[in-house]
Structure 1
Amino acid sequence: MEQVQLGLFIFIRITAFMVISPVFSQKGIPNITKVILASALMIVTISSVSNFVPIDNLFLFAFVVWKEVLFGLAMGFLSQLVFTGVEIAGQMIDFQVGFSMAQAFDPTFGMMTSQYGKLYYWLTLMMVFLTNLHHYLIKGVINSFQLVPIGAVNMQGTTVEGVIKLFSLTFEMAIHLAAPLVISAVIVDLLLGMLSRTIPQINVLMMGMPMKTSISFIMFLLILPSTLEYLVKILPKSIQYMNEFIHAIGQVR
């Protein structure tokens, strides 16, 4: 009975993490594959968890299950922040370039996505696999059971302040990624505005859309090496954010 409860709690935390975390939460991955992966991680983890006391009270059991779900979702959400910043950067670029009108439903994300947002997202996902960061994600989840035992999840003011700081860093990263393309689109708008004042006969609206699209794509190709270098530098922070959150929760108890 003890091993069954322990395995169930471990499975719940890992599954909740995979529901929202990058890489594992992709809708293209079959659900049976996610269940098998979560079960395999549970089998690997169960031997390293000690000092577990079985719970006999049904109400207390449900409460611990709820805490494990919330903690798993919190870990997944924090690891997803970098990808959220990348998507925000893509939406900012699309709004300025004019691609916001071309948003379409993407079954991979299950929502309306921007064109540059998808481009940056898949570029970031590619860098995750190239740098083996998905291994560190799995390692962080497994190590969370040593730092935060089953049911020992509490939140204090310092933890909440840390999460708020991560939100600000996410927007900072989004602005950093979007700035070159947004600025180039704004410069094109200024030049077209000056041209329309000089030669009123020119249809600036018809010229502006294809011109901004072309220049933004050219700028994207020009800054692509710098973008990849920045992503390699910023992506490990997603693991750092999650680990710092786990350590903060562990210190609270």
Structure 2
Amino acid sequence: MSILNLLPIFLLVFVRLASFFVTAPVWMERQIPAPFKWGAAFFISILVVGLVEPEHIIPMDSSYILLVLKEVFVGLCLGFFVTVLFYAVQLAGSFIDLQSGFAMATMFNPQTGIQENLTGRFFYIVAMLFFLSIDGHHILIRGVLASYDWISVDSWLPSNVSDNLVHLSILIVKDMFWIAILIASPIVATIFLVDIALGILAKTVPQMNLFVVGIPIKMAVHFIVLFVFIPVFLIVMEKLVQTMIHSFEQMLKILGA
């Protein structure tokens, strides 16, 4: 195949990879320079373009713009739906801080441009380190490269893709809340027992100022249970990665049906 025939295929491969790197975990962070994202997509596209075999030669006419938009949509979907599951750890941290009294102690995250809870940010950093330690970024790259076997660059999306995507998004959001509850439940339950004990103490010793005593106790219990909970958090992270891989596979089946 000549270079002129490879150029339309290369551009479609590059668009899908670049769109994926914009929304995928690790690469979507603001501290990752934009030239690195585009450069990674460019050089991976050079390696992949020879393996992509469309059924026919792709002409660069008016329909080619629609193929480019389709590749943008596929890349954004593959990265976004995986990233949504990563927000489960930040949601769990919000649940914990709301119960322990740290809900007002937010910090500005320059990566996202919003205020985030302290425990949620801590969980997100630990989750990202765990993800990198198991070569999760390599898993994502292999997944997006496998998408060319499911979704050819010269094919169109199936007619029922919108209904299936809505159904899958509901399942992913459900899994996100379920994983967040699994992460937050030990600490939230422990602090709830502390609240019950403080309530009993308030009835027993009315002259005690629980507003002064209760908040430091809840904060101390928060840090102690958090320290003990870290090994359990890593176990839940394995469940998160498995759910992420399963959602990625479901996304490929829907877009390439």
Tell me: CA distance 1:248–1:222, structure 2 relative to 1, closer, same or farther (3 Å): same
Counterpart Cα distance in 1 of 2:215 and 2:105: 12
* Partner residue in 1 for 2:84: 81
Q: Does 1:249 align with 2:255?
A: yes
Question: Are the aligned partners of 1:127 and 1:232 in contact in 2 as well (CA < 8 Å)?
Answer: no
Percent of aligned positions that are identical: 28
Q: Does 1:55 align with 2:55?
A: no
Counterpart Cα distance in 1 of 2:236 and 2:60: 51
1:178 to 168, 179, 184: 184
* Partner residue in 2 for 1:222: 228
Deviation at 1:118, TM superposition (A): 0.8
* Partner residue in 2 for 1:134: 137
Deviation at 1:156, TM superposition (A): 4.8
Question: Are the aligned partners of 1:71 and 1:153 in contact in 2 as well (CA < 8 Å)?
Answer: no
Question: Are the aligned partners of 2:107 and 2:116 in contact in 1 as well (CA < 8 Å)?
Answer: yes
1:113 to 104, 113, 116: 116
* Partner residue in 1 for 2:31: 28
Deviation at 1:120, TM superposition (A): 0.8
Taking structure 1 as the reference length, what is the TM-score of the superposition?
A: 0.92
Deviation at 1:238, TM superposition (A): 0.9
* 3-state secondary structure, aligned to 1:80: helix
* Partner residue in 2 for 1:102: 105
Taking structure 2 as the reference length, what is the TM-score of the superposition?
A: 0.91
Question: Are the aligned partners of 1:81 and 1:238 in contact in 2 as well (CA < 8 Å)?
Answer: no
Q: Cα deviation per residue 1:113-155 (whole Å; 9 max; x = unaligned)?
A: 1111111111111111111121110000011112101252231
Q: Which amino acid counterpart does residue 194 of structure 1 have in structure 2?
A: I
Q: Does 1:197 align with 2:200?
A: no
Counterpart Cα distance in 2 of 1:21 and 1:32: 16
Say how many residue pairs are matched: 250
Q: For the aligned residues, what is the CA RMSD?
A: 1.6
Question: Are the aligned partners of 2:93 and 2:119 in contact in 1 as well (CA < 8 Å)?
Answer: yes
Range 46-55 or range 153-162, more displaced:
153-162
* 3-state secondary structure, aligned to 1:28: coil
Q: Does 1:153 align with 2:157?
A: yes
Range 136-145 or range 152-161, more displaced:
152-161
Question: Are the aligned partners of 2:179 and 2:236 in contact in 1 as well (CA < 8 Å)?
Answer: no
Question: Are the aligned partners of 2:74 and 2:255 in contact in 1 as well (CA < 8 Å)?
Answer: no
Range 227-236 or range 7-16, more displaced:
227-236
Counterpart Cα distance in 2 of 1:126 and 1:184: 26
Q: Which amino acid counterpart does residue 59 of structure 2 have in structure 1?
A: I
Range 234-243 or range 66-75, more displaced:
234-243
Deviation at 1:81, TM superposition (A): 2.8
Q: Which amino acid counterpart does residue 54 of structure 1 have in structure 2?
A: I
Unaligned runs of 5+ in 2: none
Counterpart Cα distance in 2 of 1:73 and 1:189: 44
Unaligned runs of 5+ in 1: none
Question: Are the aligned partners of 2:100 and 2:222 in contact in 1 as well (CA < 8 Å)?
Answer: yes
Q: Which amino acid counterpart does residue 57 of structure 2 have in structure 1?
A: V
2:11 to 8, 12, 24: 8
Question: Are the aligned partners of 1:17 and 1:73 in contact in 2 as well (CA < 8 Å)?
Answer: yes
Q: Which amino acid counterpart does residue 114 of structure 2 have in structure 1?
A: M
Tell me: CA distance 1:202–1:55, structure 2 relative to 1, closer, same or farther (3 Å): farther
* Partner residue in 1 for 2:40: 37
2:218 to 205, 212, 222: 212
Counterpart Cα distance in 2 of 1:180 and 1:80: 24
1:188 to 180, 189, 194: 194
